[in-house]
Structures are given as structure tokens and as C-alpha cells.
Amino acid sequence: MTVIHPLDQETALSLLKEGVWAGASTKAYGNMVGTFGGVVAATLLNAVVSDERRMGEPVSLTVNFCASVVVGDLTVQTKLQRAGKYTQHWSLELTQNDQICATASVVTGTRGDVFAMQSAGAPDVPKFEDCTPIPEYPVKWMGRYDMRFVEGQPEFASKQHDPLGSPYAAVWLRDNPDRTLDAVALASLADCFFPRLLHIRGTVVPFATVSMTTHFLATPEDLAEQADRPVLGVVDGDRFQGNFHNQRMQLWSESGKMLAVGTQVVWYKH
């Protein structure tokens, strides 16, 4: 009997016809309301990764979260907007009961052995094994990740922190159970950071990510070397204003390679 990893189960899609896929959202990655945005992003990316028309590897993914994905059937529609010699551009829609829940765009690209350099360096942090797993939180998707904060573990409080906390955090992240790293897993890991607003205020107000962009920078060799080892997530936010704030993140391999980088904008109620 083959055991299917929860991430693969949750992002699984059946081809109905070219560019139309059927999937289903379960409780496995449930969030406070609806399904964790990370697996929604991963499901959308999976529709392109699984497409026989695809050329090259994922380069960029933007997901716009329009409404909660809820437990039940979903449809992903993909449109190959334009294909060139080096890149393909895809537009996607995820619907439930004919209502748009998310839109996305994906760029795939042919990657060659050309000039390469990494100018950024990972922060110097304690090893995954030397860090403490977070306590159990009452949202299901968090149980699907082994999270170990190096810095900036959130402290929730009944009244707002004074002084305000820092939006910076560094945290080890690993699929639970372990899973070999690929672009689909990275797409979900990219959303594993709490809204920076919670870190600085300590209190929880209604919030939702409205748009998230991830750029994929890992080589096949990086992914092979990484295998099922944890990735280091580094996240920060810059400005919180008028019901929206930005946050930007990096995912690093254990050996210090930048695997993905991204940004998101988060709505908050008050």
C-alpha cells in the first residue's frame, strides 16, 4: 500500500479536459476560516506542473485570494496565455460552485547552465535539531508543518504589546510528515508565516492574505541535496497602514542556498 503525503492528497488534481482540473479541499490543511492559503497556492501551481503542455520549471507564482476555499470539490482552470522559446505564461482560476475563490498567474521557464551567483546570504542560526517545536495551535494546517522558531516566535496577549514587537522572524519549517522538497511544496511553505501584524501587536484581529507572489530560485541540485530536510524561513514586514500591510519572505536550504523569495499583502480589519 502506498501512503500518499497529505500535501499530495490535498493538491491532487484530475484532468477533466485540457486546462480543466478537478480537485477537493479537505480539513487536513484547515485554517481558522477555510483552507490554508499555502495549499491553495500549491494546488494552483500543481495544475501547471501537471499539464502536459508545460515547458520548463516554475519561475514565478502569484495567487490572489478572492474568497475562502472551503471543504468540498474545487475546479482549477488554466489558460496557456503565451509560450515563447524560453518562457510560458499561464493564467489560472480556482472555483467552487462556479464562484471564483482564487486567481493566479504562473511563469514557467527553461533553465540552463549559465552565469550564476548568489549575492545574499542566509542568517547564521542554530540548527533545526537544536530548536524547539512550537506548541500546538488550534488550527489544523499548522500540524502539517514542524515549525521551530529561531527568532521572533509570536507571543499572543490579551492587549496590544507595548512597545510593539518586531515583524522579523526566522523559523525552521518542514512538512509533517517529511516530504521531498519540490516547487509545489515551496509554494505552500511560502505562506507558512503568520501575518506580521500579529507579531508586532500580539493581539489577533481579523486578517487575510489578499495577494501572494513567490519566485522560485532553487536549482534541481539544491532540491536533490535538500531532499526532505527542513528549510529556513526568514520573514519581515515594512509598513502597516490603512487596513493592509506587506510582508516579504525568503526560504533557504540547510546549506544556505536561496530556494525561493516572495512577498504578500495582508488585509487586516482594525
Residue 38 Cβ vs a copy of itself, minimum distance, rounded to whole Å: 17
What element of type H or E holds 229?
none
Residue 135 Cβ vs a copy of itself, minimum distance, rounded to whole Å: 26
The smaller minimum CB distance to a copy of itself, of residues 97 and 110, is found at 110
Residue 150 Cβ vs a copy of itself, minimum distance, rounded to whole Å: 19
* Contacts with a copy of itself, residue ranges (CB under 8 A): 59-60, 62, 64, 66-67, 81-82, 84, 86-87, 89, 91, 93, 99-100, 103, 105, 107, 109-120, 164, 166-167, 197, 200-201, 205, 210-211, 213, 215, 217, 219, 236-246, 248, 250, 257-258, 261-263, 265, 267-270
Residue 133 Cβ vs a copy of itself, minimum distance, rounded to whole Å: 27
The smaller minimum CB distance to a copy of itself, of residues 64 and 153, is found at 64
The smaller minimum CB distance to a copy of itself, of residues 123 and 177, is found at 123
Q: Bridge partners of 256?
A: none
Chain centroid offset of residue 104 CA: 13
Query: Distance (Å, rounded) from C-alpha 78 to C-alpha 64?
Result: 15
Residue-wise burial string across 48-67, b where 16 or more C-beta atoms lie within 10 A, e elsewhere: bbbbeebeebbbbbbbbbbe
| Among 241, 235, 239, CA closest to 268 | 241
Half-sphere exposure of residue 140: CA atoms within 13 angstroms, side-chain side? 16
The smaller minimum CB distance to a copy of itself, of residues 26 and 211, is found at 211
Residue 117 Cβ vs a copy of itself, minimum distance, rounded to whole Å: 5
Residue 54 Cβ vs a copy of itself, minimum distance, rounded to whole Å: 15
Q: 207: which residues sit within 8 A by CB, 6+ positions away?
A: 195, 197, 198, 266, 267, 268, 269
Residue 188 Cβ vs a copy of itself, minimum distance, rounded to whole Å: 19
The smaller minimum CB distance to a copy of itself, of residues 146 and 191, is found at 191
All 3 cell numbers of residue 147? 515549525
| Strands annotated E in 132-226 | 145-151, 169-175, 207-216
DSSP assignment, residue 203?
S
115 SS3 class: coil
The smaller minimum CB distance to a copy of itself, of residues 80 and 142, is found at 80
195 SS3 class: coil
Query: Distance (Å, rounded) from C-alpha 270 to C-alpha 240?
Result: 11
Residue 95 Cβ vs a copy of itself, minimum distance, rounded to whole Å: 10
Beta carbons within 10 angstroms of residue 126's beta carbon: 12
The smaller minimum CB distance to a copy of itself, of residues 131 and 200, is found at 200
The smaller minimum CB distance to a copy of itself, of residues 12 and 208, is found at 208
